[in-house]
Amino acid sequence: MKTLVHITAGLGCLLLSTPILAHEPEQIERVIINGRADSLLDIANAASEGYVGRDHFEYRPLLRPGELLETVPGLIATQHSGNGKANQYFLRGFNLDHGTDFATFVDGVPINLPTHAHGQGYTDINFLIPELVERIHFRKGPYYADLGDFSSVGAVDMKYSRSLNHSLADVEGGMYGYARGLFISSPAVGPGNLLYAAEYQHDNGPWELPSNYNKANGVVSYNQGDDDSGFSATAMGYFGRWNSTDQIPRRAVEEGRIGRFGNIDDSDGGESKRFSLSAEWHRDTEDGHTQVLVYGVYYDLDLYSNFTYFLDDPVNGDQFQQFDQRGYGGLMAHHTWDHELFGLTSATTAGLQVRGDAIQVELNHTRRREFLETTRADDVGEVYVSPYVQNQTRWTDWIRSEVGVRLDNYHFGVQSELPEDTGNVGASIVSPKGSVVFGPWANTEINLSAGLGFHSNDARGVTSQIDPADPLVRTTGAETGVRTLWVKGLQSTLTFWWLQSDSELVFIGDAGNTEPTRPSERYGVEFANYYTPIPWLTFDLDYAWSHARYQDVVPGEGNFIPGAIENVLSAGVTVHDVPSLGGFFSSLRLRYFGPRPLVENDEFRSDGTAIVNLQAGYRFNARWKLTVDVFNLFNTKGDDITYYYTSRLPGEPDAGVDDYHFHPVEPIQVRAGISAQF
């Protein structure tokens, strides 16, 4: 029997509908894809699309919540500052900074923050509770009509569990003052389920200045129904406060001024808050599927950083405060009709996405967190309205397609103290997209995908009367790949991709101005493998290679893109539920973050960093489980992140010194936890 698959936006569920024929009506069947062990043949429309389920990351040691995204093949999530700050992401030849060009959702609610104080598309997922994540749906490239801003390189939606069949209490402790407590419960209430979770974490890290990271986190949700029809309402709250050890100059360590885990400015740090409310409703009928999501989020960040030390202000130092306070909310809705097209099985989806942000953002010069002067302060309003339509059709037993188009309408409004920085700008962009899938033959499919995408620029750069940035920057991408299950127990995908960006103009929050960059082109290869030869043993191996260059040639400058990732390797072996070993389980993982150019002429490059992490544990019975994580098992002394720029230490020339600046990987450390299910 032929099947047709369409992916519902936001929740990452899969709807498989059998042919709707006038003479033979069929009922809709729903199949939920939970992870990499599930077959995506006849389901995924692009070779690089995939799912990761709890069965894959349940046994994965996580130093920080952001590393959950490293389950996406080829993605690196690293850190150059304090624990409470957003991670820095790398994927497909991009230094994504803190989230630009990588769209992130939790239960369909967008996390990226446009016109943010510290970077366009800032993505802070420190509020994430990994134990609640049921599955992750990742997609790469601008090929999907339901994905718009920030998604040109990729997108990921992390779905929380609607309910658990048990309560969970977890207590953890470890080196460097690490402590964590978590409680989750999911009782039945009336015709539905109530789920609530509370988390507290403290961590000092290995730094000479203890990070004193304190995090309080909570989730409450209520839902009725099932994956076919039902509704849910969710409230989340997060608070974090920390001291930062930012990247440091290599010369300061080599000269003995500071240690490897030392700092130049011991007053850096920050505080962040996030509160959200969301409600989702969905329904299946004989003719199709409807889903509506509404959400509202309050977010607050107060961040103090100093990356150049005494270069700009030899007396007070260069510390700056970035303040971002906003409320944002929106709607994501779509309806899918199952129908015939030329007598063929087909489904058409029409959707609408609306979002508005009301933002207060400031950049201030400070000294040891004391205010000195305001560099820039703005009140920003940003709204988009984006309808889209897409169609999936099965043309033959071995050809199916998905084509779509979206229209993004944006309005940027900025009220600043300076007239030349105040203004209103509107912009629109149309983006067609599509994929064709051939097969399967011998449990193998061939995918072809292409599309136009975009990313928005910071509203402060867009509305500036001096050297304004383009509001919406066009991206163009394509890929072809093979997905195969030909070898029993092995799932492999091989993807060749290409992505071009008309410009990488971004607003530089650290400096308060717009910095233009040139058009760019990237291409690469991804090879992802997941192998389960026997039920209790799993191997995974993902390798990604990327080539990134600016397209325009500038005399005296090279065309390398600083920070563009070139090689990523992730590999692991997991053992669990071995009949002869009782409740023993273990996971050993390798993560390789390859060298990168740090300047346009490639004269200065970062080193590669390889880290091995280990998890081992024992489940005593249905209730009690002991887990031990060892991070950086071989005590690698590599860099978590590396930059090359000019800075000035006391006593150095006024013009400063060009140097490598790095944030070291954390040394070997052990954490242990005991959990109870009841």
339-376 pLDDT tens trace: 999 999 999 999 999 999 999 999 999 999 999 999 99
Residue 482 has which token pair?
């093979």
Percent of the chain with pLDDT strictly greater than 90: 85
What is the DSSP secondary-structure string of 181-229?
Answer: EEEEE--EETTEEEEEEEEEEEE--S-SS---EEEEEEEEEEEEE-SSS
Question: How many Cβ atoms are within 10 Å of 665's Cβ, its own excluded?
Answer: 22
The answer to whether the CB of 12 falls within 8 A of the CB of 53 is: no
- DSSP at 97: T
In this structure, the chain runs to a length of 678
Q: Is the pLDDT of residue 38 over 60?
A: yes
**Residue 116: C-alpha distances to residues 243, 302, 323, 599, 641 (Å):** 21, 12, 9, 25, 22
CA 618 – CA 586 distance, rounded (Å) = 9
Whole-number Å distance between alpha carbons of 555 and 292: 52
Confidence at residue 666, expressed as pLDDT on a 0 to 100 scale: 97
List residues bridging with 569 in a β-sheet.
543, 592
Hey, is 68 helix, strand or coil? helix
Residue with the two structure tokens 């309005």: 411
Q: What share of the chain is helix, strand, coil (3-state, %, to 5)?
A: 5, 60, 40
What pLDDT is recorded for position 3?
A: 42
pLDDT band for position 480 (cuts 50, 70, 90)? very high
pLDDT band at 580 (very low <50, low <70, confident <90, very high): confident
Residue of 285, 295, 404, 383 whose CA lies nearest to 335: 285
SS3 call for 349: strand
Phi, psi of 253 (to 5 degrees): -75, -45
258/247 Cα distance (integer angstroms): 12
- Each residue's pLDDT tens digit, 538-577: 999 999 999 999 998 888 889 999 999 999 999 999 999 8
Residue 658 has pLDDT above 50, yes or no: yes
Mean pLDDT in residue range 193-206: 98
Q: What is the pLDDT, as a whole number, of residue 34?
A: 64
Among 94, 489, 118, smallest CA distance to 301 is for 118
Band of residue 37 on the pLDDT scale cut at 50, 70, 90: low
Tokens of 208: 């000479």
Instruction: Kindly give the pairing relationship between strand 154-160 and strand 102-106.
Output: parallel
DSSP state letters, 505-549:
-EEETTTTEEE----EEEEEEEEEEEEEEETTEEEEEEEEEEEEE
- Give the residue ranges of DSSP H helices in 417-499: 459-462
| Tokens 């066009």 found at | 474
Residue 381 is given by DSSP the state E
Is the pLDDT confidence value at 14 over 50?
no
What mean pLDDT do residues 270-285 have? Answer: 96
Segment holding 425, helix H or strand E = strand 423-441
How many angstroms separate the CA atoms of 630 and 579, rounded?
Answer: 25
Q: pLDDT-derived band of residue 152, with 50, 70 and 90 as boundaries?
A: very high
Judged by DSSP in three states, 66 sits in: helix
Task: Give the confidence band of 42 by pLDDT, cuts at 50, 70, 90.
Answer: confident
In this prediction, residues 460-483 reach a mean pLDDT of: 93
Give the ranges where 416-566 is alpha helix by DSSP (H).
Answer: 459-462
Average pLDDT rounded to a whole number, residues 442-468: 93
| 283: pLDDT strictly greater than 80 | yes
CATH of domain 4-677: 2.40.170.20
Q: How confident is the model at residue 510 (pLDDT cuts 50, 70, 90)?
A: very low
Cα–Cα distances (Å) from 606 to 73, 582, 656, in that order, read: 22, 45, 21
What is the mean pLDDT of the segment spanning 610-620?
97
Please report the pLDDT score of residue 511 as a whole number.
Answer: 52
**% of the chain at pLDDT higher than 70:** 93
pLDDT at 26: 40
Q: Compute the half-sphere exposure of residue 395: CA atoms within 13 Å on the CB side of its CA.
A: 11
351: its two tokens: 């959707």
95 strand-pairing partners: 90
Q: State the SS3 of 252-268.
A: HHHCCCCCCCCCCCCCC
Q: Which of 12, 44, 50 is nearest to 528 (CA)?
A: 50
Vertex 523: Cα angle to 517 and 526 (nearest 5): 135
Other CB atoms within 10 Å distance of the CB of residue 254: 9
Q: Is the backbone peptide bond immediately before 206 cis, with ω within 30 degrees of 0?
A: no
Cβ–Cβ < 8 Å for 25, 90: no
The span from the CA of 86 to the CA of 124, in Å, is: 4
Average pLDDT, the chain: 92
